[in-house]
C-alpha cells in the first residue's frame, strides 16, 4: 500500500517527466515563418552590471546576443520607460530552438 509521501514522490517524478517531454517537443518545433534561423547555437548570456535607474518607472531591459553580419553580436542592456502607463512588465526576449537551428523571440511589454 502506498503512503501519502510515496504518492507525492511518484506524482512529482511523473510531473518532471511530463515537463521534460513537453520541453523537448517544444524545442524541436519549426521556427515561425519569416524568422531568420541560425544554425550555430547562441553563446550564453553575459553577466551585466545594472546601473541605477535614470528615474521612477524605468525598467531594465537585459542585453542579449543578436545575429548580425554572419555572427553573434552582444547588444547591451538598457533602462527603458514603458510606452504606456498600463504596461509595467518587460518579458525578455530569448533564443528558441527549432529543428533547423535557433531563432530570436522578441521581448515585449505586458
Does some domain include residue 8? no
pLDDT value for 102: 97
pLDDT digits over 84-102, tens only?
999 999 999 999 999 999 9
Does some domain include residue 7? no
Does some domain include residue 59? yes
Owning domain of residue 41: 31-109
Does some domain include residue 3? no
Does some domain include residue 66? yes
Phi, psi of 34 (to 5 degrees): 80, 5
* Model confidence, pTM: 0.68
Please state the domain count of the chain.
Answer: 1
pLDDT digits over 63-85, tens only?
999 999 999 999 999 999 999 99
Does some domain include residue 19? no
Question: How far does CA 38 lie from the centroid of its chain?
Answer: 16
Does some domain include residue 61? yes
pLDDT band at 18 (very low <50, low <70, confident <90, very high): very low
Q: From 99, 109, 91, select the one nearest 32 (Cα to Cα).
A: 99
Does some domain include residue 104? yes
% of the chain at pLDDT higher than 90: 67
Amino acid at each position: 500500500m502506498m503512503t501519502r509521501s510515496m504518492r507525492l514522490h511518484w506524482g512529482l517524478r511523473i510531473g518532471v517527466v511530463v515537463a521534460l517531454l513537453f520541453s523537448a517537443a517544444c524545442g524541436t518545433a519549426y521556427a515561425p515563418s519569416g524568422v531568420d534561423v541560425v544554425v550555430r547555437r547562441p553563446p550564453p548570456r553575459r553577466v551585466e552590471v545594472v546601473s541605477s535607474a535614470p528615474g521612477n518607472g524605468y525598467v531594465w531591459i537585459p542585453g542579449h546576443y543578436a545575429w548580425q553580419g554572419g555572427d553573434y553580436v552582444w547588444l547591451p542592456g538598457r533602462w527603458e520607460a514603458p510606452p504606456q502607463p498600463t504596461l509595467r512588465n518587460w518579458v525578455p526576449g530569448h533564443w528558441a530552438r527549432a529543428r533547423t537551428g535557433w531563432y530570436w523571440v522578441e521581448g515585449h511589454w505586458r
